Amino acid sequence: MKKNKKFIISGILLLLIGVTIGLVISSKFDFQTKGFSEDYQISKESQELLSKIGNAMAEVIQAVRPSVVNIYTTKKIKRQGIPFPFNDPFFRRFFDDEFGGLFNRPKEFTQTALGSGVIVDPSGYILTNYHVIKGADEIKVKLYDKKVFDGTLVGYDAKTDIAVIKIKSNGLRAIKWGDSDKLKVGETVIAIGNPYGLNLTVTRGIVSATGRANVGIADYEDFIQTDAAINPGNSGGPLVNVSGELVGINTAIFSTTGGYQGIGFAIPSNMAKVVMDSLIKNKKVIRGWLGVTVQDLDTEMAKASGLKEIKGAVVTDIQDGSPAEKAGLMRKDIIISFNGKEVEDAAHLRNLVVSTPPGKTVNMEIIRGGKRYTITATIGELGAEQMVSESESVLAGIYVEDLTSKIRSQLHIPKKINGVIISSIDPDSPADGLLMRGDVIMEINNEKINSVKDFVRVSKKVKNDAIIWFFRDGRVLYITLKVGQ
């Protein structure tokens, strides 16, 4: 009996101790919780500031969204049927009938793609990337209000990855143009587009760098680098500043996985506008030409020339009869400024030159023998290129240059060979894989080709088949280019 009383008393004591400890812990936790909530409240000032920032961003997006469009393209692709395993006519006829022409007959497939674009003129002109509409048989444009229009290709420039399309509509909301030359690293930018078909997706970031070249995306590169998320489908959409002005055309991402990794690239609006204006006005891109070969400045050359910064482009060669030769430029000259703009490197100078209208007089500041000089040059026209508006021609995507004495010497082309030399061929050109860089086109459909002007004139007339005579590796050859081959 005494033992039972002891157990009961012990149990009551333990219960009282447990309750006491529980109350202490509870009160302490409650105190800490109260302290936490009291110490970490968000101030009204912070809330107001964040609210203002959020509202400001929303205003920018609302102003820009009506100018952003979806672009849908379709392309027909022909593929050869499965090779027939037997030559016996009976088996050929039986299997051909039984399997609906599965063997040997070409099959046609429809390939679809999507991208983005931005309205740049109320009359219906839309700016996008060339790779968005590349090889398209049909272009559809969907506006912010869900209306869908047929898009017509005005022209494209594969060297900058820019294309201009047009829809039949008036009174459209055109975006405001910004000055991409004024962009600063760290500045806030907004990317708008349709990644993965998700309409009007908005991402925000900063300008990570400007003047990015040698990325390997296009021939002429002067990219804006940003950490605003750019994903497949964003291509062709606008990159805008906090004023809602167009400062770039979203183009590509750097990725090892195919997804966003914080590095995106956009074509500067100033470059895009020059290309667009030329395509609309001239149906081709007219580029400036100086006639020099240049190389990046290195540490040793900069030090020897008395330059504190490694900026500029070293002249390594000058073409005969070029604007550079007429202006008095010499080998070893270091060009440090062009038309009032500081030259960063060789790629930057190249972009500055090709963006300058032919016939314009510019001043260049150079270093020669450790001394500074100013040289004046009148910019010429870079060898005229394929009329890009003739996208249905079998000659589309072939870029040529005049055959100069220097090129003849370098490529060992005989004097009796006259024509134009192919400088590049677009991957989707009918001539890709048949003609190649360095071929000399001598004749097209029985018409002699002695200059780039001849090539452009003849290319306008060719819509169907073209018999081309050309010189390659010491031999004169010919091929027939056919529509749809």
Kindly state whether residue 173 falls inside one of the protein's structural domains: yes
Is residue 359 located within the same domain as residue 432?
Answer: no
Is residue 213 located within the same domain as residue 321?
Answer: no
Kindly state whether residue 166 falls inside one of the protein's structural domains: yes
Is residue 75 located within the same domain as residue 11?
Answer: no
- With cut-offs at 50, 70 and 90, classify the pLDDT of residue 346: confident
Rounded distance, CA 195 to CA 167, Å?
22
Is residue 21 located within the same domain as residue 107?
Answer: no
Q: Per-residue DSSP letters for 380-401?
A: EE------TT-TTSTTTTEEEE
Kindly state whether residue 103 falls inside one of the protein's structural domains: yes
Residue type, 440: V
Catalytic annotation present for 88: no
Torsion angles phi and psi, residue 101, rounded to 5 = 75, 30
Is residue 260 located within the same domain as residue 295?
Answer: no
Q: Which two tokens stand for residue 352?
A: 């500055």
| Contact status, residue 237 vs residue 119, Cβ threshold 8 Å | no
Range with lowest mean pLDDT among 50-54, 60-64, 281-285, 424-428: 424-428
CATH classification at residue 337 = 2.30.42.10
Is residue 265 located within the same domain as residue 326?
Answer: no
Is residue 299 located within the same domain as residue 328?
Answer: yes
- From the list 161, 227, 439, 454, the catalytic residue is 161
Helix, strand, coil percentages for the chain (3-state, nearest 5): 25, 35, 40
Highest mean pLDDT among 77-81, 183-187, 420-424: 183-187
Supply the range of the domain harboring residue 360. Answer: 288-381
Give the per-residue pLDDT at 388.
36
| Contact status, residue 71 vs residue 117, Cβ threshold 8 Å | yes
Span 22-57, pLDDT tens digits? 555 555 545 444 444 556 688 888 888 888 888 888
**At which of 226, 254, 282 does a domain end?**
282
Give the per-residue pLDDT at 12.
58
Between residues 417 and 103, which one has the greater pLDDT? Answer: 417
Residue 54: exposure state from Cβ atoms within 10 A (0-12, 13-18, ≥19): exposed
Helix, strand, or coil (residue 266): strand
Span 365-423, pLDDT tens digits? 999 988 999 999 999 887 644 433 344 567 877 888 888 877 888 788 998 899 999 88
Percent of the chain with pLDDT over 90: 26
- From the list 67, 116, 131, 439, the catalytic residue is 131
Give the per-residue pLDDT at 247.
94
**At which of 348, 381, 414 does a domain end?**
381
How many domains in the chain? 4
Strands (E), 160-312: 162-166, 176-177, 188-193, 201-212, 223-226, 238-240, 245-253, 264-268, 288-289, 292-296
Between residues 145 and 89, which one has the greater pLDDT? Answer: 145
Catalytic annotation present for 131: yes
Kindly state whether residue 41 falls inside one of the protein's structural domains: no
Catalytic annotation present for 161: yes
- From the list 235, 305, 355, 393, the catalytic residue is 235
